Amino acid sequence: MGMVDGKSALVTGAGAGIGRETALKFATEGARVAVSDVNVAGGEETVRLIASAGGEAFFMRADVSQAKDVDALIKQTVKAFGSIDCACNNAGIEGVIAPFAEQTEENFDRIISVNLKGVFLCLRAEIQQMAKSGGGAIVNLASVAGLVGFAGLSPYVASKHGVNGLTKNAALEYGKAGIRVNSVCPGGIDTRMLDSLAEQSSDGKMTSHEMLDPMHPIGHIGMPAEVAELIVWLCSPRASFVTGTNIPVDGGFVAQ
Ligand code: NAD
């Protein structure tokens, strides 16, 4: 018996990294999965991986910063599965690293529009749907950068603190409607995004492992599957009394 047997799940940004691993974990734990991303090839590959492991999934392209894309994605998921029981709002970008005084308006707007407005649009549409169908569970991807500051990453830090705020508000407004909302706050996780951050901040001289392993008390960065484990558990009935939390999954990073 899987943790989310018989449920339907939606994952944004599921064409790579943490989102792909989360979609796979939902499927192996018994859910049917709507896989979404702006990267069509990546999303289709995730669906192929789920199908070859014996699961059920479909892909739909949606840019989370566009309300019409998000609304169409929710509609299509309900059409395919009848309801949305679990949702993981994972899509996000890192943008450009720069000191605060050199941050551009364009970089700020782009990061806020995908990371913060994207989560707002997804949450709003998912809550509307879940309230109609009697409830559900939602997990947003924040970051340790949603709990503490990071030099060079001010728009990203602002977006992730915002995601943690939206998470609390949605949880307190819709708890009685049977909707639980939590966020996860990963430390460094071995994905393309972390490679980009390491490359930008070391001018290509250091890998993400060389730069970030020593910053984690556990001695190394994490893997996408270690985040997916927490996300799917939070979406499952096993987490029935957990809502409104911003949970680190960070090898001890914010304990320092
Ligand atoms: P990634 O770059 O490997 O994957 C992100 C996915 O999101 C990609 O497939 C990309 O195409 C998709 N995406 C980007 N913009 C989109 C948009 N507008 N609409 C829909 N999809 C879009 O990154 P990742 O490391 O897997 O990150 C996933 C989430 O986890 C992000 O929200 C990120 O901020 C967060 N996070 C990552 C780390 C880390 O160390 N990797 C740490 C903390 C938080």
Concatenating the DSSP letter of every residue in 186-230 gives E-SBSSHHHHHHHHHHHTTSS-HHHHHGGGSTTSS-B-HHHHHHH
Cross-sheet strand order for the sheet of 32-37:
57-61, 32-37, 8-11, 86-89, 136-141, 179-186, 246-249
> Which pLDDT does position 143 carry in this prediction?
98
**CB neighbours of 196 closer than 8 A, spacing ≥ 6?**
94
Residue 1's pLDDT is 86
181 forms beta bridges with: 138
15 CB within 6 A, ligand 1: yes
222: Cβ below 6 Å to ligand 1? no
**Atom number, ligand 1, closest to the C-alpha of residue 13:** 7
CA of 255 relative to ligand 1 center, distance in Å: 24
CA separation, residue 44 to residues 33, 41, 84, 88, 227 (Å): 12, 5, 20, 18, 22
Q: Which fold has domain 8-188+223-247?
A: Rossmann fold (3.40.50)
> Whose CA is closest to atom 32 on ligand 1?
92
Q: Distance from the CA of 176 to the center of ligand 1, in angstroms?
A: 31
* Residue pair 162/89 in contact by the 8 Å Cβ criterion: no
191-221 tens-digit pLDDT: 999 999 999 999 999 999 999 999 999 999 9
- Write the burial class of residue 80 (CB in 10 Å: 0-12 exposed, 13-18 middle, 19+ buried): middle
Ligand 1: which atom is nearest the Cα of residue 144?
43
Residue 127 to residue 131: CA distance in whole angstroms: 6
Instruction: Give residues with Cβ within 8 angstroms of 114, minimum separation 6.
Output: 64, 65, 91, 92, 93
Task: List strand residue ranges (DSSP E) for the chain, in order.
Answer: 8-11, 32-37, 57-61, 86-89, 136-141, 179-186, 246-249
For residue 140, the CA-to-ligand 1 centroid distance in Å is 12
pLDDT of residue 181: 99
Six token digits for residue 127: 């809550």
The residue to mutate among 61, 191, 221, 223, having the most atoms of ligand 1 within 8 angstroms of its beta carbon, is 191
Residues that are catalytic:
156
Q: Tell me the CA–centroid distance for residue 29 and ligand 1, in Å.
A: 22
Question: How is the chain split into domains, by residue range?
Answer: 8-188+223-247
| Angstrom distance (rounded) from CA 76 to CA 106 | 32
pLDDT of residue 21: 98
What is the position in ligand 1's atom list of the atom closest to the CA of 15? 9
Which atom of ligand 1 is the closest one to the Cα of 42?
A: 9
Stretches in the chain below the pLDDT threshold 50: none
Q: What is the pTM assigned to this prediction?
A: 0.98
